[in-house]
Amino acid sequence: MSSIFRQVRAMLRANLLGLRRRLAISVSMMLSVALVVCVLAGFLAMAAGFERTLAGTGSASVAVILGGGSNREAGSDIPAEALRGILALGGEIGVVRDTGGQLVASREVIGTTEVAAGDGAHAATLALRGMDLSGPDLRDGVALVAGRMFTPGTRELVVGLGLARQGPGGAIGGKVRLGALDWTVVGQFAAGGSAFESEVWADLDAVRAAFDRQGEVQSLRLRLAGPEAIGTLRAALGTVTATPLVVVSEAELYAGQSGRTADLIRLFGWPLALLMAVGATAGALNTMMSSVADRRVEIATLRALGFSRMAAFLATWIEASLLALIGVGIGIALSWLLFNGWQASTLGANNARMGFQLMVTGEVMAKASLLGLATGLIGGALPAIAATRLPLTAALKAGA
């Protein structure tokens, strides 16, 4: 074993010292691997950032009631009769009440609307949420950072900070045309980078009047006594109406939406990265075959001196692995510099634009690195085998 180790070390040293003669093709192999790592890391960072944004949205201590058997606000409708029955519930139902004994609740509707950019760019699709005045207080981690909250009955808007930074018309005092009417921005709120920051909030009655949705309620938010109280609430709702109602925690609602979109991003990212990995593997194969051909006389001489086939195989394969490892390092460094913290947006919850930050996490780097290393290992395997099968006599004659 020690003899093979010394042989491998000697052959690997010769291989690495000869890289200067093959510098261009060796660099191309490293850059090919780096490109594969960058592409996969970019898609995975996008999925991770999107999931992080939605996973950080919502609270387990807030219940969301949806109607019509839907598990999404966009397809929900709570009939007026069912709504009255819920708000009139007495006794212990696991929901916090105010000093007057009324449920701490917010009736809400949400829809998408377009707002034109002032610079002539394409109109942006925004999520406009109409809510009761208690709605903002039901959202944990939300804080008003500028201006004030909307006044009930008026066409006033409070804009999420993430949206205000990216979208048009987010400045305090600015006029925004939504539908056929002008609205005034009176405040901006922060929500720790969650999906809430991609919404625009307004008074429920004002939204319903402006978009001809009188009497409509898509969701009802309730403050629970604790996360475990949601079971008590579900049991109580079963006695209110025959209308199918879905009760989920706010955290569950957004987590379910994040999984679908993140899976779609990965569905596009992995095939593209694998296709590029095939090309990079071909590049690694070409690089290492050129390396073997360039050193055929050296390899044949060492073999004639008693070096084993295993030593030739391992030395060539380790060289390919080292080049791939350098490529992985370059790719990870570029991914971190280019993608981490980069602002992006996509269609999120309720089919409206949602802003989020790409996140190059440890898991993202590990998966991208494994694909890059696999590219080098697979691409270097065949040339390594070729090095063990090199005809000694022919190689020595060619070098004579």
Q: Are 189 and 136 in contact (CB under 8 A)?
A: yes
Tell me: do 294 and 244 sit in the same domain.
Answer: no
Residue that terminates a domain, selected from 191, 222, 256: 256
Tell me: do 149 and 187 sit in the same domain.
Answer: yes
Tell me: do 200 and 118 sit in the same domain.
Answer: yes
Tell me: do 123 and 21 sit in the same domain.
Answer: no
* Per-residue model confidence (pLDDT) at position 230: 92
The H or E element containing residue 245 is strand 245-249
Q: What is the pTM of this model?
A: 0.70
Consecutive 10-residue averages of pLDDT for the chain (400 residues) = 76 76 80 87 84 76 88 86 88 87 93 68 77 93 92 94 73 86 93 85 95 93 92 86 85 74 73 78 74 68 75 81 90 91 67 72 90 84 72 51
The rounded distance, in Å, linking the Cα atoms of 191 and 56 is 9
Residue that terminates a domain, selected from 195, 228, 256: 256
Tell me: do 172 and 72 sit in the same domain.
Answer: yes
Tell me: do 235 and 92 sit in the same domain.
Answer: yes
How crowded is residue 3: how many other Cβ atoms within 10 Å of its Cβ?
Answer: 11
Tell me: do 72 and 191 sit in the same domain.
Answer: yes
Query: What are the residues whose beta carbons fall under 8 Å from the beta carbon of 64, sequence distance 6 or more?
Result: 73, 219, 220, 221, 247, 248, 249, 250, 253
Residue that terminates a domain, selected from 188, 222, 256: 256
* Per-residue model confidence (pLDDT) at position 42: 86
Distances from the Cα of 36 to the Cα of 186, 332, 336, angstroms: 47, 10, 14
Q: Count of domains in the chain?
A: 2
How crowded is residue 194: how many other Cβ atoms within 10 Å of its Cβ?
Answer: 25
Q: Are 150 and 158 in contact (CB under 8 A)?
A: yes
H helix intervals, 295-391: 296-304, 309-339, 362-388
Pairing, β 181-190 against β 156-160? parallel
In terms of residue numbers, what domain contains 203? 62-256
Tell me: do 224 and 126 sit in the same domain.
Answer: yes
- Helix/strand/coil percent split, the chain, to 5: 55, 20, 25
Cα 16 from chain centroid (whole Å): 40
Tell me: do 341 and 220 sit in the same domain.
Answer: no
Tell me: do 223 and 318 sit in the same domain.
Answer: no
Tell me: do 104 and 235 sit in the same domain.
Answer: yes
Cα 149 from chain centroid (whole Å): 31
Q: Are 289 and 281 in contact (CB under 8 A)?
A: no
Tell me: do 250 and 264 sit in the same domain.
Answer: no
Query: What are the residues whose beta carbons fall under 8 Å from the beta carbon of 320, sequence distance 6 or more?
Result: 284, 287, 288, 376, 377, 379, 380, 381, 383, 384
The rounded distance, in Å, linking the Cα atoms of 223 and 105 is 7
* Per-residue model confidence (pLDDT) at position 8: 81
